[in-house]
Amino acid sequence: MALGTAPSAPGPASSRRAGDLEVPRPLRLLLTAAWSLTESIGLPAAAYLAAAGLDGRDAGLIAGLAAIWLTAIIRKAVTGSVPGLLVISAVVLTLQTAVVLATGELWLFLLQFPLANLCLCVLFARTASGPRPLIAQLAAEVIALRQPATHHPGLHRFFQAATWLWAAIFLLLTAGLAVLMETEPASVFLMLSTAATIALVVAGTAVSALWFRSALRRLGLRLRFAPA
C-alpha cells in the first residue's frame, strides 16, 4: 500500500482468497504425493527386495530398515525435520523387523500385525490434542496442503478430531487382528488381516475426505489450486 493512501476495505473476493486452503496443481500434486510415498515406502521396499533376492528374508528386512533410517537421517540433516509418514514407516518397520528376527515362532511372527497397528494408534493419539495433529502434518507433507495464513481454530479442531478418528481406526484394527490371531489359522489370519486393513483404511479415507469437505463448507473456507 502506497504511503499516504487510505486503506480500502478488502472486497469479498480478496477476503475469501485469504481464507483459502491451497493444494498444488494436479501434476505437481501427483509428484509431491509420489515422492512422499517413494521415500517412505518405495525405497525400503526396493532395498528389501534386492537384499532378500540375494540373501533371504532376514537380509531383506535389515536392508529395508537401514534404507528407511538412512532416509530419515538424511532428511533431518538436510531439512531439519523428518516427515510424519517417514516416521510412521520407520517405527512400524523397526517393530516388525525386531519381532520377525527375534525368533522363528509363528505366533510372534503374526504378532507384528496387531502390534504395528497399536503403534500407529499411539502415534496418532499422542498428537491429536496438541498443536500439530498428525493428520494436518500428513496433509501438508503428502499433498502439500497449505492452510490459511491466519490460524483458524475451527480447521484446527477438525484436524484434531480427524487424528482421533484414525487413532480409533488403528485401535479397532489392533483389537480385531488380536482376536483373529487367536481364533484363525495363520493362512486365514493373513488373508483376513489384509482384507480388514484395506477395508478400514479405505473407509477411513472416504470418511475423512467427506468430513473435510463438510468442515470447509461449515467454516466458510474453500480449497483451490495454488497459482502456477
User: pLDDT tens digit string along 8-60?
Assistant: 334 444 444 556 888 888 888 888 889 888 988 899 999 999 998 998 888 98
Specify the amino acid at residue 43.
L
**Residue at which a domain ends, from 102, 117, 149:** 102
Does 199 map to a domain?
A: yes
CA–CA distances in Å: residue 75 to residues 43, 70, 110: 14, 9, 32
Does 14 map to a domain?
A: no
pLDDT digits (tens, 9 = 90+) for 108-164: 778 888 998 999 999 999 999 999 999 999 999 888 898 887 778 999 999 999 999
Give the range of the structural domain holding residue 40, as residue numbers without chain letter.
Answer: 24-102
Q: Do 193 and 132 fall within a single domain? A: yes
Mean per-residue pLDDT of the chain: 86
Specify the amino acid at residue 33.
A
d(CA 121, CA 167): 4
pLDDT recorded at residue 19 = 64
Does 8 map to a domain?
A: no
Residue bearing the bigger pLDDT, 148 or 104: 148
**Residue at which a domain ends, from 102, 120, 137:** 102
Count of structural domains within the chain: 2
Does 10 map to a domain?
A: no
Q: Do 113 and 57 fall within a single domain? A: no
Q: What angle do CA 215, 81, 28 make, to 5 degrees?
A: 55
The dihedral of CA 171, 173, 176, 182: what is its sign? negative
Reported pTM:
0.80
Using 50, 70 and 90 to split pLDDT, how confident is the model at 104? low
Q: Which of 11-20, 62-71, 74-83, 111-120 has the lowest mean pLDDT?
A: 11-20
pLDDT recorded at residue 147 = 86
Q: Does the pLDDT of residue 77 top 80, yes or no?
A: yes
Q: Do 165 and 194 fall within a single domain? A: yes
Q: Do 76 and 188 fall within a single domain? A: no
pLDDT recorded at residue 228 = 63
C-alpha cell belonging to residue 134: 498428525
